[in-house]
Amino acid sequence: MLSQYLPGVEQLSSHWAVVIGVGAAFLLVQLVLSMRLYVRAWRQERVLDHLYEDLAHGGDGRGGSARRGGDAAPRGFAWLRWVLSMFPAGTTTPPGNFTREQVLHELDTRITSDSSYLLLQRMGIMAPLLGVVLTVVGFYWLKIDESGEQSLQTILKAVTPLVSGVGAGAVLALLNQALLQAVGGRMERLRMTARAWFDATIWRHVGTSQHASALPSGTAEAVAALEKFARQVALTADRHKASSSQIEAATASMKLAAAQFEEVVRSFHGEIKGMPQALCVLRDATAASANALQELLPVGARAVSNLDVSVAAFRST
């Protein structure tokens, strides 16, 4: 049975060697970067945990650097060395008047600007592009049988050099996201530990002094803001009162207009009720006048005839 697949294996062996070799090298670089970042963050977190435990047991939380004149921070933990140098033991006013947010932002900046972390993120973008390159290279091993009708198995075997490149790029991209998730979780735990240590060891002393010195100006600004807010509220209340008065006047005018309109409608209704009877009387009078005119027509005709006779007699005499 194995001999049946030997020709296909021989046909694709060189292509699979390229795909597996390039993919394995790419994955190995990602694993090395991820392990380097993960182990470094884990060691830095352990250093901060030891310093926090030292503070909990009555120490200064700096690893005794103030007493021995040494440095508690390892060489690879640049942020801790920077904090201990900028906030010496016993100081209440650090040089440059750094705030808590600036110090924590410095930690985030140092983490995100690490060259290994940046390269690991870039490799997540390069993985699909690498798959495209492997697909293009796979055209070199693409062989199409033009002898006649082909089966599905033959077609799939023929396009394997193309599909393998795309698949390798997709798998490498997914593995990159998984590694970034693991490293990102470790970095986030380092941030939380560093924030807790800084608040308990450094900012507890420096922050109290800074807040105490800044209290009068802050209070004055708060009072000024409250006064401005009170003036705005009073002005808004006056405008609302004036608007309410205008609305009441408009409502009264509308009620008066409605009453007048109702009176006009009522009087018009009373007057229009008698109009049918008056129209009936007018109709009867008109009919009587018409009858009288009809009766007067014969009398007028006889009067005209008599007048004609009188005129004729007068002319004959």
- pLDDT score for 80: 82
Average pLDDT, the chain: 76
pLDDT at position 130:
84
Q: Does residue 216 surpass a pLDDT of 70?
A: no
3-class state of residue 75 by DSSP: coil
User: pLDDT at position 33, please?
Assistant: 92
pLDDT tens readout for residues 70-92:
445 556 677 888 888 777 776 66
Q: Rounded to an integer, what distance in angstroms lies between the CA atom of residue 305 and that of residue 302?
A: 5
- The verdict on 125 and 271 lying in the same domain is no
**pLDDT for res 67:** 42
| 209 and 224 inside one domain | no
pLDDT given for residue 64 in this prediction: 57
115 lies in the same domain as 28: yes
Task: Give residue 193's pLDDT band: very low, low, confident or very high (50, 70, 90).
Answer: confident
pLDDT at 96: 61
pLDDT given at position 214: 46
Ramachandran sector of residue 58 (left: φ over 0; alpha: ψ -120 to 50; beta: rest): left
Contact 47, 196 (CB under 8 A): no
Q: Helix 115-138 to helix 2-56 angle, to the nearest 10 degrees?
A: 170
Q: How confident is the model at residue 12 (pLDDT cuts 50, 70, 90)?
A: very low
Q: Tell me: the pLDDT tens digits for 89-139?
A: 766 666 566 777 888 888 888 888 888 888 988 988 888 888 888 777 776
Structural domain total, the chain: 2
Clarify whether residues 9 and 158 are in a common domain: yes
Q: Which of 152, 180, 213 marks a domain boundary?
A: 213
45: which residues sit within 8 A by CB, 6+ positions away?
A: 186, 189, 190, 193
Question: Highest mean pLDDT range out of 180-184, 192-196, 221-225?
Answer: 180-184
Same domain? 262 vs 238: yes
Q: How does residue 285 score in pLDDT terms, banded at 50, 70 and 90?
A: confident
202 with 260, same domain: the answer is no
Confidence category of residue 4, pLDDT binned at 50, 70, 90: very low
248 has a pLDDT exceeding 90: no
Domain boundary among 213, 235, 264: 213
**How high is the pLDDT of residue 59?**
73
**pLDDT tens profile 173-189:** 999 999 999 999 999 99
Contacts of 19 (CB under 8 A, 6+ apart): 134, 138, 164, 165, 168
CA angle 254, 257, 259 (to 5 degrees): 110
Out of 191, 213, 235, pick the residue that ends a domain.
213
Pick the range with the lowest mean pLDDT from 98-107, 125-134, 219-228, 244-253: 219-228
Return the minimum-mean-pLDDT range out of 122-126, 212-216, 251-255. 212-216
Q: Which two tokens mark 122?
A: 């870039």
Instruction: Report DSSP state, residue 41.
Output: H
Do 248 and 122 lie in a common domain? no
Specify the higher pLDDT residue, 180 or 261.
Answer: 180
For residues 248 and 310, state if they share a domain.
Answer: yes
Identify whether residues 97 and 202 lie together within a single domain.
Answer: yes
Same domain, 176 and 45: yes
* Domain residue limits at 31: 2-213
Residue 158 has pLDDT above 90, yes or no: no
- In whole angstroms, what is the distance from residue 153 CA to residue 161 CA? 14
Query: Are residue 154 and residue 287 in the same domain, yes or no?
Result: no
Task: Render pLDDT for 13-62 as a digit per residue (tens, 0 to 9).
Answer: 577 788 888 889 999 999 999 999 999 889 888 888 888 787 877 777 77
Give yes or no: residues 191 and 232 share one domain: no
Share of the chain above pLDDT 70, in %: 75
Q: What does the pLDDT read at residue 8?
A: 47
